[in-house]
Amino acid sequence: MVKMTNVLTTCTKKVFVSLVLFTVSMVADAKPATFLQDFRITWSDSHIKQLDGGRAIQLVLDENSGCGFASKSQYLFGRVSMKIKMIPGDSAGTVTAFYMNSDTDQVRDELDFEFLGNRTGQPYSVQTNVYAHGKGDREQRVNLWFDPAADYHTYSIFWNHHHVVFSVDEVPIRVYKNNEAKGIPFPTRQPMGVYSTLWEADDWATRGGLEKIDWSKAPFYAYYKDFDIEGCAVPGPNSCASNPSNWWEGLSYQQLDPVAARRYRWVRMNHIVYDYCTDKRRFPVTPPECLAGI
């Protein structure tokens, strides 16, 4: 009996070791998603360079051109994120953008991250904007609390029927709530693609256009990796927009959890530098979504 037990134990160990080795082998063979699996170059392919076997990319801006890329599919709700390392040093007049867009001219929906270049040593600002049913002009700006050119940081857009949440390293910097019940447009009907561009915008990007690009510092580089899209690709099932089994529509995602809400309040108290809701020069009458709570 003892011998049989020893034999079974030995066999069990061999099977266990074999399973571990097989699993390790499978993990070793697995490869992270590459840029070209989900994206295509839309503008100036000579200015986008694939790195690390396509798992990262470099975007280039020089006097000849900027560049851009887009997802191969459009999505109706979900979450998209990328790790981005911004242009270091004197990046005044440049804009690195990461956004979602319905690609419709008259009534487009769009959710924007725009990272505004700066003179060396000045804070990097990120501008967010929301277009819903063709209506935009909803800019907010936040000064980042770290140097986004020193390392990669994760920027994400979360979008469901209840709100849009812009986050930096899982810290919400903006929440735009669905107030359609009050007659305020919200992007619920149009699928959107995922886009990114690096371009010259020195007529407005840095101090309202006062700081121009110093082309002697060119070329300018931004780096991207860890492309992640979790959403319902369109065309797809008709239930794409309303299926409660989609994780992003779950009860726990219908509002910020207590930790996220605390982080959001911290950003609003310490790092917001512009909010269209309080700009009386542009909007003598407060926009209705500001009164409804955004």
Q: Which of 63, 110, 139, 200 is catalytic?
A: 110
CA distance to 17, 18, 22, 57, 205, per residue, from 8 (Å): 14, 15, 21, 52, 71
Cis ω for the linkage preceding 235 (within 30 of 0) = yes
Q: How far is CA 50 from CA 87, 98, 223, in A?
A: 17, 18, 10
> Of residues 63, 114, 230, 249, which has the active-site annotation?
114
Beta carbons of 125 and 113 less than 8 angstroms apart:
no
* Cβ pair 163, 142 in contact under 8 A: no
Q: Is 110 a catalytic residue?
A: yes
- Concatenating the DSSP letter of every residue in 116-180 gives EP-STTSPPEEEEEEEBTTB----EEEE-SS-TTTS-EEEEEEE-SSEEEEEETTEEEEEEE--G
With H, G, I as helix, E, B as strand and everything else as coil, classify residue 112: strand
Distance CA 220, CA 239 (A): 43
Torsion of CA 201, 220, 70, 57, to 10 degrees: -170
Is residue 180 flagged as an active site residue? Answer: no
According to DSSP, the β-strands at 56-61 and 153-159 are: unpaired
Neighbour tally for 93: CB within 10 Å: 27
Place of tokens 């709570």: 293
98, 103, 109, 112: CA torsion to nearest 10: 10
Looking up tokens 């804009």 gives 95
Catalytic site positions: 110, 114
